[in-house]
Amino acid sequence: MREIITIACTECKQRNYTTTKDKKKHTEKLELRKYCKFCQAHTPHKETK
C-alpha cells in the first residue's frame, strides 16, 4: 500500500512537497532535487516524518 510522505528542503528545512511511496519496496528515505520557493533555487529535498 502506498503512503503519503512529506519532502523537506535540506537548505532551509521548509516542508514544500508531498508525494506517495510504497514503503515495502523502498525502505530507504527518498531524496529528490526539487525547486524550493523559499530558497528560489533547485535544492535537494529529503523525506521527513
Residue 14's pLDDT is what?
95
Residue 30's pLDDT is what?
94
Distance of CA 21 to the CA centre of its chain: 11
Nearest to 22 by CA among 46, 10, 6, 5: 5
Q: Give me the chain's average pLDDT, please.
A: 95
Residue 11's pLDDT is what?
95
Structural domain total, the chain: 1
Residue 38 sits in a domain whose CATH number is 2.20.28.120
**CB pairs under 8 A, 24+ apart, for 32-37?**
32/7, 34/7, 34/9, 36/9, 36/11, 36/12
- The range of the structural domain enclosing residue 25 comes to 2-48
pLDDT tens readout for residues 17-40: 999 999 999 999 999 999 999 999
Q: Is the pLDDT of residue 16 over 90?
A: yes
Residue 49's pLDDT is what?
81
Q: What is the distance between the alpha carbons of residues 38 and 2, in angstroms, rounded to a whole number?
A: 28
